[in-house]
Amino acid sequence: MIDIKNLTIIDARAKLMKGEFKASELLEAVLANIAEKNGEVNAYLEVFEDARTQAKAADVLIESGATAPLLGIPVAIKDNMLYEGHLATAGSKILEGYKSTMTAHAVQALVNAGAIIVGRANMDEFAMGSTGENSAYGATKNPLDLNRVAGGSSSGSAAVVAMGGALGSLGTDTGGSVRTPASHTGLVGLKPTYGAVSRSGIMAMASSFDQVGPFTKTVTDAELLYSVIDKQDPEDMTSVPNDARPTAWAKSHFKIGVPEDFVNNEGIDADVRAKFKEMLAKMEAKGHKIIPVSLPTLPAALAVYYVLVPAEVSSNLARYDGVRYGVRVPGETLLDTYKNTRAEGFGEEVRRRVLLGTYVLSAGYYDAYYNKAALVRRKLTDEVAEAFKGVDVIAMPSAVSPAPKIGELSEDPTGMKMYLADILTVTANTVGVPAISVPMGTLDREGKDLPIGMQFMAPHFHEQYLFGIGREVEALR
């Protein structure tokens, strides 16, 4: 049997080309892991029926000498990505039974590159959450410790790779939803520059924050997936033409900025801080420069995020009204139908954000909340740009702790514990820069080695820096 858990995309590709195994055999090994583990982990909401047909077609192509970057590679997509003719529910009851009528640009890019789309992965409802527990279809469990969460919102996209149910996957990251689950499951997760990957065909959460990004076992695999999906798309007006993006090559020595006050924050687990410093020291010993950076507005990023994101959420989710898509709960009048459908179809966190967002956008409060947050966003963006004049990347831990236990954050009735888990990740989305999470080691928690990630941000379209520094972490950990 092929050892999927230790197989990278790069290796699998070489072995497929050499004929060591066929694409259909590779898929069977993946399907066997899914059959064994998905019942407990709840990572896949559905394994697509046509996956075997795709793999057989890849067998024929490989035999005929064809090549493509992902030919025969089994990958998963998040449940908020459209794939024509297949179900997509964004982890919500309101979209139960909804079938995509088009394919997302990023998913099409995978298909065009020869990937086998294995299935759709579980997620927090409409990508709102940090643990994967807000899915209407049940929480995803962490394959490394079933008492713990896999991280969210792209919980399933992380867990499928960690359990050997795919070699890579796509998630979406609006405020950390790729990096947090990557940190909790020992994977590499990339949040590309805003405008690098098309949002067309991705169910919108907060349109000025959302980006699609890959989950993989290694930085080089992440680079490969990114190179497939990073193409400009005229269907997304925020998608930047490839030839208008600054070119950045990875370097061998980096100037690493560290916002010291912020990473000394007590809200971050002391062992996580210690590991982070240990890795910085190793990097310094290798000749990289560690430079303190001042980002005075950083502590306000979370507040800014939780004003602006609900505002965009309340607007984007207005379309789920029981008339156009999915579930419909009829009432006496049209207004009753809207109310019934949204009350029954949306879960608690989604309703909370819609209410919050509607409030901050309402006439009397718009200036006090929405406009104020937009101004602070601008200030934070300027500070980050200023910091990048002196450093190549900015380093922080990826998450405040290793994977929390099921219920640890979600049982707080105010929702605040869940929100505070995002303090380290929301900045990259708020200012639009790319960020990566790379495993930096493990911490012992009740006898289990739980992974934790190191995070780097880089200037706009400098993903190459992230791959370069990420490989350094892989070599030093």
Interface with ligand GLN (CB under 6 A): 127-130, 153, 172-177, 205, 309, 422
Smallest gap, in angstroms, from Cβ of residue 38 to ligand GLN?
22
Which lies closer to ligand GLN via its Cβ, residue 116 or residue 127?
127
- The span from the CA of 275 to the CA of 388, in Å, is 24
Residue nearest to ligand GLN (CB): 177
Q: How many CB atoms lie within 10 A of CB 249?
A: 8
Residue 5 bears catalytic tag: no
- Cα 319-324-330 angle, rounded to 5 deg: 100
Smallest gap, in angstroms, from Cβ of residue 183 to ligand GLN?
13
- The span from the CA of 357 to the CA of 93, in Å, is 21
Q: Which tokens in the block code for residue 115?
A: 């990937």
Which lies closer to ligand GLN via its Cβ, residue 42 or residue 134?
134
Residue 153 bears catalytic tag: yes
**Is 295 within 8 Å of 431 (Cβ atoms)?**
no
Which lies closer to ligand GLN via its Cβ, residue 255 or residue 417?
417
Among 24, 92, 130, 153, which one carries the catalytic annotation? 153
Q: How far is CA 357 from the centre of its chain?
A: 22
Smallest gap, in angstroms, from Cβ of residue 129 to ligand GLN?
5
Which lies closer to ligand GLN via its Cβ, residue 173 or residue 472?
173
- The span from the CA of 382 to the CA of 296, in Å, is 11
Among 78, 141, 191, 275, which one carries the catalytic annotation? 78
**Long-range CB contacts (< 8 A, 24+ apart) of 316-322?**
316/204, 316/205, 316/206, 316/207, 317/126, 317/346, 317/350, 317/354, 320/92, 320/94, 320/95, 320/345, 320/346
Smallest gap, in angstroms, from Cβ of residue 140 to ligand GLN?
14
Which lies closer to ligand GLN via its Cβ, residue 42 or residue 174?
174
Smallest gap, in angstroms, from Cβ of residue 456 to ligand GLN?
17
Smallest gap, in angstroms, from Cβ of residue 422 to ligand GLN?
5
- The span from the CA of 380 to the CA of 430, in Å, is 8
Q: How far is CA 7 from the centre of its chain?
A: 21
Conformation bin of residue 60: beta by default, left when phi > 0, alpha when psi is -120 to 50 = alpha
Among 92, 169, 177, 183, which one carries the catalytic annotation? 177
Residue 177 bears catalytic tag: yes
Which lies closer to ligand GLN via its Cβ, residue 230 or residue 422?
422
- The span from the CA of 47 to the CA of 64, in Å, is 28
173 strand-pairing partners: 211
Enumerate the active-site residues: 78, 153, 177
